[in-house]
């Protein structure tokens, strides 16, 4: 049986701010993200914290792509502040709720001629994140702009079907492998082919060519793009195809400039090493390489389970003396929310001899 106690950690939040959140008209995902940000900041007496979408999703049980959509919308409504960080985004709540922007105000601003944004914008693209297949990732910007809105649902007439399948007058000339091009000159087309051949998700080629043409990268910039793609694949963030953005989305967001974690941080290494010393012989030693983004996110989440000083240093030795373990479990299960709850609730307490 779980018996939460205030002395084991609690979050202080002003009633006025809590009431503003409750009446703010947020979706379930947005509200979950807000409270997770509060847990990660106010829960540690901080105003902001460096966190990734995967870490937030792991804490509140929301899929990563929905977390990204919620963060962008909350930033657009000025409910949170966010800027690029080392591991994701440095995020904090804008506690002056009088500065928050309502849904109606945001929609009016977005469709206003003075706003400089696309007229008659379909707000459902922002509120729901579009198709679950979009795989969009967080960007340093506060929300969508006319340059990074998903294009797939609005450009059906410019499909990238083979030229032989499109006989309409005025169709763009066929490029390599019979695919349509968007008027790229020879040098730029060659650079695009290098990029597209390396990019792991081949979707909406026409939109990707248009985005590439707007950037007009030189050879050095293309090299940076290819190196960034390699880092993302090495980091484990792009193992699951659903988390890989369409190439046009990645290009429009200048994804090659994002900081990508490819090795465990000092704090994450401390957790792994503490486990190896206390339980490695019994449950298996955890290697520090290769780096796994999901494991790193789980470790960061695990460190939030208690804010008591020395929690990590004491936890694994305590387990080695007081707990038994189910068959075939290891480090990842021990630091998971389920494993932690089972182990600390006495479900696997070692029986006295």
Of residues 225 and 112, which shows the higher confidence score? 225
The phi, psi pair for 90, rounded to 5°, reads -85, 115
State yes or no: pLDDT of 209 exceeds 60.
yes
Highest-scoring range by mean pLDDT, 88-92, 237-241, 275-279: 275-279
User: Helix, strand, coil % (nearest 5) of the chain?
Assistant: 55, 5, 40
Of residues 261 and 166, which shows the higher confidence score? 261
Closest CA to 138 of 217, 55, 207: 55
User: Does the residue 143 lie in any domain?
Assistant: no
Determine the pLDDT at residue 348: 55
- Residues 282, 285, 286, CA angle at the centre, nearest 5°? 135
> Domain end: 90, 118, 134, which one?
134
What is the β-pairing status of strands 89-93 and 48-51?
A: antiparallel
> Domain end: 237, 257, 277, which one?
257
Of residues 181 and 189, which shows the higher confidence score? 189
pLDDT in tens, 35-56: 999 999 998 888 999 888 888 9
Tally of domains in the chain:
3
The answer to whether residues 240 and 288 belong to one domain is: no
User: Does the residue 350 lie in any domain?
Assistant: no
User: Does the residue 152 lie in any domain?
Assistant: no
Average model confidence (pLDDT) across the chain:
77
The answer to whether residues 49 and 121 belong to one domain is: yes
> Domain end: 257, 274, 298, which one?
257
pLDDT in tens, 93-103: 998 999 898 88
Determine the pLDDT at residue 261: 67
**Which residues are CB-neighbours of 352 under 8 A, at least 6 positions away?**
none
Q: Which domain does 222 fall in, by range?
A: 159-257
Tokens encoding 318: 């305590």
User: Does the residue 167 lie in any domain?
Assistant: yes
**Cis? peptide before 290, omega within 30° of 0:** yes
The answer to whether residues 86 and 23 belong to one domain is: yes
48-51 β-sheet, strand order: 48-51, 89-93, 80-84
Residue 47: give its domain's CATH number: 1.10.10.10
The answer to whether residues 164 and 218 belong to one domain is: yes
The answer to whether residues 248 and 271 belong to one domain is: no
User: Does the residue 88 lie in any domain?
Assistant: yes
User: Does the residue 148 lie in any domain?
Assistant: no
pLDDT category, 80, cuts 50, 70, 90? very high
**Arithmetic mean of pLDDT, 95-115:** 71
What is the Cα–Cα distance from 157 to 136, expressed in whole angstroms? 22
DSSP letter, residue 226: H
User: Does the residue 313 lie in any domain?
Assistant: yes
Determine the pLDDT at residue 349: 57
Closest CA to 299 of 330, 265, 259: 265
Determine the pLDDT at residue 138: 43
The answer to whether residues 292 and 226 belong to one domain is: no
User: Does the residue 129 lie in any domain?
Assistant: yes
Of residues 189 and 85, which shows the higher confidence score? 189
The answer to whether residues 163 and 216 belong to one domain is: yes
The phi, psi pair for 342, rounded to 5°, reads -65, -40
pLDDT category, 307, cuts 50, 70, 90? confident
The whole-angstrom distance between residue 230's C-alpha and the CA centroid of its chain comes to: 18
Determine the pLDDT at residue 13: 92
The answer to whether residues 248 and 304 belong to one domain is: no
pLDDT in tens, 251-298: 998 888 876 666 788 889 999 999 999 999 999 999 987 777 778 889
The answer to whether residues 189 and 248 belong to one domain is: yes
The answer to whether residues 165 and 227 belong to one domain is: yes
State yes or no: pLDDT of 134 exceeds 70.
no
pTM of the model: 0.38
Specify the DSSP element, H or E, that contains 81: strand 80-84
The answer to whether residues 125 and 217 belong to one domain is: no
**Residue 163 near residue 180 (C-beta atoms within 8 A):** yes
The phi, psi pair for 60, rounded to 5°, reads -110, 0
pLDDT category, 212, cuts 50, 70, 90? very high
Determine the pLDDT at residue 182: 54
**For the chain, how long is the longest CA-to-CA vector?**
86
The answer to whether residues 178 and 253 belong to one domain is: yes
């Amino acid at each position: 049986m779980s018996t939460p106690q205030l002395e084991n950690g609690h979050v202080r939040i002003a009633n006025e701010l809590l009431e503003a959140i409750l009446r703010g008209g947020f979706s379930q995902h947005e509200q979950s993200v807000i409270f997770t940000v509060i847990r990660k900041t106010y829960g540690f007496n901080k105003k902001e914290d460096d966190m990734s979408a995967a870490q937030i999703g792991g804490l509140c049980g929301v899929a990563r792509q929905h977390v990204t959509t919620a963060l962008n919308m909350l930033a657009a409504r000025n409910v949170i502040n966010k800027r690029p960080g080392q591991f994701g985004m440095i995020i904090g709540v804008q506690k002056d709720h009088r500065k928050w922007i309502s849904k109606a105000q945001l929609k009016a601003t977005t469709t206003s001629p003075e706003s400089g944004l696309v007229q008659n914008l379909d707000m459902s693209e922002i509120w729901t994140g579009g198709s679950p297949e979009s795989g969009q990732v967080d960007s340093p910007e506060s929300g969508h702009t006319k340059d990074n809105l998903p294009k797939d649902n609005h450009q059906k007439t410019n499909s990238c079907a083979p030229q032989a399948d499109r006989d309409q007058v005025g169709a763009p000339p066929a490029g390599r492998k019979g695919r349509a091009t968007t008027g790229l000159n020879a040098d730029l087309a060659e650079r695009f082919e290098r990029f597209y051949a390396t990019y792991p998700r081949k979707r909406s080629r026409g939109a990707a060519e248009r985005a590439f043409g707007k950037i007009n990268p030189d050879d050095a910039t293309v090299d940076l793009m290819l190196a960034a793609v390699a880092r993302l694949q090495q980091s484990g963030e792009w193992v699951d195809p659903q988390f890989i953005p369409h190439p046009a989305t990645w290009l429009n967001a200048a994804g090659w400039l994002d900081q990508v974690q490819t090795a465990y941080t000092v704090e994450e290494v401390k957790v792994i090493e503490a486990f190896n010393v206390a339980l490695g012989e019994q449950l298996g030693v955890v290697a520090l390489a290769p780096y796994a983004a999901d494991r790193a996110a789980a470790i960061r989440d695990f460190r939030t389970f208690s804010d008591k000083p020395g929690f990590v240093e004491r936890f694994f030795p305590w387990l080695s003396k007081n707990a038994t373990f189910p068959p075939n479990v290891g480090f990842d299960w021990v630091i998971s929310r389920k494993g932690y709850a089972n182990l600390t609730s006495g479900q696997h307490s070692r029986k006295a001899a």
